[in-house]
Amino acid sequence: MHHDALYLLEEDNKLQKNGLVHIGTSLKMRENQFVEPYCLLGIPPKNADSDTKLQIGDHCYIRSHTVIYAGTKIGSHFQTGHSVQIRERCVIGDNVSIGSKTVLEHQVIIEDNVRIHTQAFIPEFTIIKKGAWIGPNVVFTNADFPLGREVKDRLQGPIIEENVIIGANSTILPGVRLGAGCLVGAGSVVTRDVEPDAVVVGNPARKIKLRSQLRYQDTQELVYSY
């Protein structure tokens, strides 16, 4: 992987001339940052100030067709899948991975060591804390009454505490807080806050047990060690 990435870096000028990679003037690439073809990086958002910058830390790997707007700050060891979209004014920590076709709207906060898988939707004002794991096709929401009066002034993203696990195809409603270390089962619809370490499933999601007590059926060994 690194060999191919180095080749892309060496061909950087040619790629830009051919229109395969567009790096805006707000971003200065470094030797340990690798970008595949067909990416748009540092694109200024509408009505942005001329000095709006995109910051990306060392040792990133950005895969093809990714779009990242200026005005976002990203830490080191960041990587994307293909066709990721990240809007402006996001703050993303170190060692974060964002899966293919995932969309982050503006003003999202993601802390260190977070994994977001394929085709997740993360709307404005969402906060995802350290070590969280977001499964494929997970949808966060931030509007209680879409198209309602004053809706833009009342947006409230979910808060995902440290080390939360959210299973595939789950939906998290606006303003919901998922407590540290809780686990949301696949396909759940979470309509209210979840306490730390709880396992919740269903629509609406309900608590069925504690994550710290989960055991494999065949060996009865604990699934998670703390």
Q: Is the pTM of this model over 0.95?
A: no
Q: Please, how many CA atoms are within 13 Å of residue 158, restricted to the half-sphere of its CB? A: 29
Would you say residue 137 lies in a domain? Answer: yes
Q: Note whether residue 34 is domain-resident.
A: no
Per-residue tens of pLDDT for the chain, all 226 residues: 444 444 444 444 334 444 556 666 656 677 788 898 889 998 888 877 766 889 999 999 999 999 999 999 999 999 999 999 999 999 999 999 999 999 999 999 999 999 999 999 999 999 999 999 999 999 999 999 999 999 999 999 999 999 999 999 999 999 999 999 999 999 999 999 999 999 999 999 999 999 999 999 999 999 998 6
**Is 32 contained in some domain?**
no
Q: What pLDDT is stored for residue 151 in this prediction?
A: 92
Structural domain for 123, as ranges: 40-213
Q: Return the closest-CA partner of residue 185 out of 138, 125, 144, 121.
A: 138
Task: Give domain status of residue 114, yes or no.
Answer: yes
Domain with residue 200: its CATH number is 2.160.10.10
Tell me whether residue 19 is in a domain.
no
Structural domain includes residue 165? yes
Q: Does residue 93 contact residue 114 with C-beta atoms inside 8 Å?
A: yes
**Phi, psi for 101 (deg, rounded to 5):** 65, 15
In a domain, 72, yes or no: yes
Decide: 162 and 175 in contact? Cβ < 8 Å: no
pLDDT number for residue 27: 67
Sequence-separated (6 or more) residues with CB below 8 Å from residue 111: 93, 128, 129, 130, 132, 162
| Inside any domain, residue 77 | yes
Q: Count of domains in the chain?
A: 1
User: What DSSP assignment string belongs to the chain?
Assistant: -HHHHHHHHHTHHHHHHTTSEEE-TT----TT-EE-SSEEEEEPPTT--TT---EE-SS-EE-TT-EEETT-EE-SS-EE-TT-EE-TT-EE-SS-EE-TT-EE-SS-EE-TT-EE-TT-EE-TT-EE-TT-EE-TT-EE---SSTT-TTGGGS----EE-TT-EE-TT-EE-TT-EE-TT-EEPTT-EE-S-B-TTEEEETTTTEEEEEGGG-B-TTT--BS---
